[in-house]
Structure 1
Amino acid sequence: MSLSLPRALLRTTRTFTTTCRSSSEDPTTKKEKPLYGTAPSHRSYIFIHASEPPFSFPARLSTPLQRALQLKVMKWGGTINFSWLGPPKSTGGGPALTAFSALGGRLEVPELNMDNMEEVAEVLERHATEGPLGSGTSDEIHLYVCTHGARDCRCGEMGGAVLRALQEEVARLAKADPLGIASRIKIGEVGHVGGHQYAANLLIYPHGEWLGMLKPEDVPIVLARVLDSPVRPYTSEDAPIVPSHWRGRMGFAKDDQAQLFQSLYPNSLLTPSID
């Protein structure tokens, strides 16, 4: 069965508007710490398709399926989270998964349940450590915005604003060119990714790029950079897709993220201009 949340745990964005600290505060400036090197290290990011969007999640969301799979994939560098790309297709079984890895690109798993847990975990490990398990793994671009407002109101407010801006801009681009690459962009929401002080946070896959401190006005240039980039996992040969908002990259430890950024921008404590 798909992930279903009790009504008592549902939240609305209205909950966050009265007490939320301004997302315009720049934590990197205040603490004199760079934004780069703040993405959690992971070889593979695995999204469990939830039946409710993240603004409905409780502050901390955990299920037996998620915990069981996390124990298996964390051994080789996998990370689990809950995502929302619209109402999931009902299969009568467990939730579907979308996984991305630095070696394998995108992998779709139609169903996860306790009976196939071992098999799914083995497939995910092979995808992360051996490479693509099939053709056409990177024909789509997935953009995930953290909108988990019950965990931190900044993600609910600024994340929600950036999500809406992305949806509007992608719709505009797809209407202008129905057969263009914008038509292959999927916009989703994701639960807590770590670093809510950097809201809005955007995860770009299969590239594996993590961006932070985004605002709605940043969306057009971010999308332009994404659409102008190869649709594949990024490597050490690739510069950050948007340097001024770059948190890090899939397949890189935090120290390696910082080293890559500093090698390209040696005189920058923070991030360079987006222009």
Structure 2
Amino acid sequence: MRLLRSIKQCARIRSFATSSTVPNPLKSELPGTAPSHRSYIFLHTPQPPSDYAAKISTPVQRALLLKAVKWGGSVNFSWSKEQPAIPARPPGEEKLQEYYLTAFSSTRGCLEIPNVSLTNADEVEARLREHVEPAEDIAASSSQDIHLYVCTHGARDCRCGDTGGAVVKAILEELQKRRELDPVGPSHRVKVAEVGHVGGHKYAANVLVYPHGEWLGLVEPHDVSQILDAVLAAPSRPMAASEAPLCPSHWRGRMNLSKEEQLELYSSFHGS
């Protein structure tokens, strides 16, 4: 029954995608749907989310999540052709798997750790926990890179695979076009990766913008140029709790804000 319902949902999404002029009734639901988190942590995988099982978990991911969830950390998997990744261990050696890690917090921006395993998981978790503590100067310690993470976990829900995959393709094509027109322009700061399940299948495509901490939903390929314009115009740092939502028509929420705080923020700028 669940599989049949998912198939019907995907059919409706594909039908809707053929007409971009039809308003999506789900847009009114978007604000406040980003899960509350102080840090989002990505373990780089050597295979794309299109190859992930419907539910993906590994010993290292579980070890980090077990502790990180207590202080507001969330652990996911990401992939791109450009990001560094450690080759996968063969079946039966999952406990020996190592990862390159990228994490973002609302206080310190981006953190990269090149080698994470079960042997140093406690030490890594301590660094991640420290990374959510206040910093004196975020701008001075942060890279100017902008990271766009798109959920393309099709085995979890085909809407993410279909719409997410199309949005990734559109982003990469738009970035290539901009870079050809301006070889030294700001588009070179944008890094694109695909990620596993983030929650909210019905809001596909879901795009996570870091270090800003903004979550966007119901993104379609024709939205990409406008979203890139907005992201590139914003400072490359975690957004403060009082700043206006980025891309309000697609805004799901912001890192380090509860559902209630997200709704209040959205209403203060875009309330009726």
Partner secondary structure for residue 238 of structure 1: coil
Alignment partners' CA distance in 1, 2:85 and 2:63 = 23
TM score, norm. by length of structure 2: 0.86
How much does 1:33 deviate? Answer: 5.3
1:83 counterpart (78, 83, 101): 78
Q: Could you tell me which residue of structure 1 aligns to residue 132 of structure 2?
A: 128
Q: Which runs of 5+ in 2 are unaligned?
A: 1-5, 90-96
Q: Could you tell me which residue of structure 1 aligns to residue 111 of structure 2?
A: 107
Q: Which amino acid aligns with 2:118?
A: M
Identity among equivalent pairs (%): 49
1:73 counterpart (64, 68, 72): 68
1:248 aligns with 2:238: no
Alignment partners' CA distance in 1, 2:100 and 2:46 = 10
Q: Which runs of 5+ in 1 are unaligned?
A: 1-15, 268-275
How much does 1:34 deviate? Answer: 2.0
How much does 1:171 deviate? Answer: 1.1
2:12 counterpart (13, 19, 22): 22
Alignment partners' CA distance in 1, 2:102 and 2:207 = 17
Q: Deviations over 1:158-182 (max 9, x none)?
A: 0000000000001111222222211
Alignment partners' CA distance in 2, 1:20 and 1:222 = 24
Q: Could you tell me which residue of structure 2 aligns to residue 4 of structure 1?
A: none
Do 2:145 and 2:189's aligned partners in 1 also have CA atoms closer than 8 Å?
yes
1:54 counterpart (46, 49, 55): 49
Q: Deviations over 1:106-159 (max 9, x none)?
A: 000111111111110010011112337995423210001100000000000000
Alignment partners' CA distance in 2, 1:171 and 1:139 = 19
Do 1:138 and 1:206's aligned partners in 2 also have CA atoms closer than 8 Å?
no
Alignment partners' CA distance in 2, 1:241 and 1:105 = 17
Alignment partners' CA distance in 1, 2:264 and 2:9 = 37
Q: Could you tell me which residue of structure 1 aligns to residue 99 of structure 2?
A: 95
Q: Number of paired residues?
A: 251
Point out the structure with the larger helix share.
2
Q: Could you tell me which residue of structure 2 aligns to residue 140 of structure 1?
A: 145
Q: Which amino acid aligns with 2:132?
A: A
1:5-16 equivalences under 5 Å are: none
Do 1:27 and 1:198's aligned partners in 2 also have CA atoms closer than 8 Å?
no
